[in-house]
Amino acid sequence: MAAASPVMAVRGRRVAITGYGVVAPCGLGKDAFWAGLNGPGLTSGRSIEIADWDPTPYFANPKEARRADRVEQFALAAAAECFEHAGRPTADDSRFGTIFATGVGGLRSTQEQIEVLIEKGERRVSPFLVPMMMPNAAGAAISMRYGLRGPNETICTACAASTHAIGYAARMIAWGMIDACVTGGSESAGCGIGVASFGNMTALSTAGASRPFSPERDGFVLGEGAAVFMLEEWEAAVARGATIVGEVLGAASNADAHHITAPAPGGTGAIACMRAALHDAGLSPADILQVNAHGTSTPLNDAAEAAAVTEVFGAHGVPITSTKGVTGHALGAAGALEAAALLLSMEKGLIPPTAGTTQLDEGMDIDLVMGGARPWTPGPAMSNSLGFGGHNGTIILGPAV
């Protein structure tokens, strides 16, 4: 059967990014997050958490905070910074969406209440467990907190989820379905069952170190956190006097259809996804000036992604970095954290280094940023997310011009 003809890109309206907020182990808030991205890599432990996390500033009272899983707490904290940064768009509430993401939702609350069930019996299980564990809780909470009555949907495509969410949110604005949208992702899966399950499938680093694209890589360090973005139709953002910090230029999503956890050999799915995103943005590979890789520090993922980037951009064709050497792998929130890293990279004129990696694995023909931040002239930049289940996601962001 002949290959299908490529579909013409339908970019529609321009999509502005007018604000964002970040909560991560390496820093709370955008400025601290940037400092963390340029700090030392992770060197001990199979998971990393936000130390001394206090959710109470983001809730009406401590009781309300206790009735929200950390996934929801992180999301509301990042959303608060996002709204403070962006201001409120002029879009009608019915055309103001919430497209959010998570990989596993309230896993911590699920584990805690299963322990209660076993130890104390059925009647002691919290009546708040369902709204605490359901994957759509974080997006629902943002929608209710800010009165957003447009489409409120949650994407759960494993480690590609928040990249998919950002791309989908931008497409809804571009196609005129909504005028503004809060999007991003949140995750907190570093509880006992999360660490045990990822550890027993040999996905976690036995050395407790995240070393993307290194010959010493042996798995990822489980991370957590959230990043939330304000997307608006460009002309409306300009009209209200918003400070535009970036633009969503294009996005794509596809599937390997190969294996539940392993990437397709040679990164064939990732290759097709990157090319589809370029087509959607109306750009060529030469237009991309940075790639924030999925770069998990697992043997198969990094090898496949390095091969895919080389196929699309050529050997050493574009600077590439992985921020997971600092953040760990935040699963469904990873793409959102990495989109925030791209926006900060554009603001600072620096590409953060791949922390934890001092040597590129043999046979990888990529231009990996190592050792320290690299100056660049900001332009279109790509972020990749590759998830269990064969999910691939790519977004292309650009500076506000």
Point out the residues that are catalytic.
159, 294, 329
Distance of alpha carbon 335 from its chain centroid, rounded?
A: 2
How many other C-beta atoms can be found within 10 angstroms of the C-beta atom of residue 72? 30
CB-side exposure of 245: number of CA atoms within 13 Å?
Answer: 23
Cα–Cα distance between 250 and 303 in angstroms, integer? 25
C-alpha–C-alpha distance, residues 395 and 335, integer Å:
9
How many angstroms separate the most distant Cα atoms in the chain?
A: 62
Hey, what are 100's tokens? Answer: 């959010």
CA dihedral of 171, 174, 177, 183, whole degrees rounded to 10: 50
Q: What is the DSSP string of 102-132?
A: -SS-SHHHHHHHHHHHHHH-GGGS-TTHHHH
Secondary structure (DSSP) of 21-60: EEEETTEESHHHHHHHHTSPPP-S-SB---TT---GGGSS
Contacts 24+ apart (CB under 8 A), 308-311: 308/266, 308/267, 308/268, 308/270, 308/271, 308/274, 309/267, 309/274, 309/366, 310/364, 310/365, 310/366, 311/266, 311/267, 311/271
What b/e string do you get for 7-32 counting C-beta neighbours within 10 Å, with b at 16 or more? eeeeeebbbbbbbbbbbbbbbbbbee
State how far the Cα of 353 lies from the Cα of 357, in Å rounded to an integer: 9
Q: Looking at the DSSP assignment, which residues form a beta bridge with residue 47?
A: 222
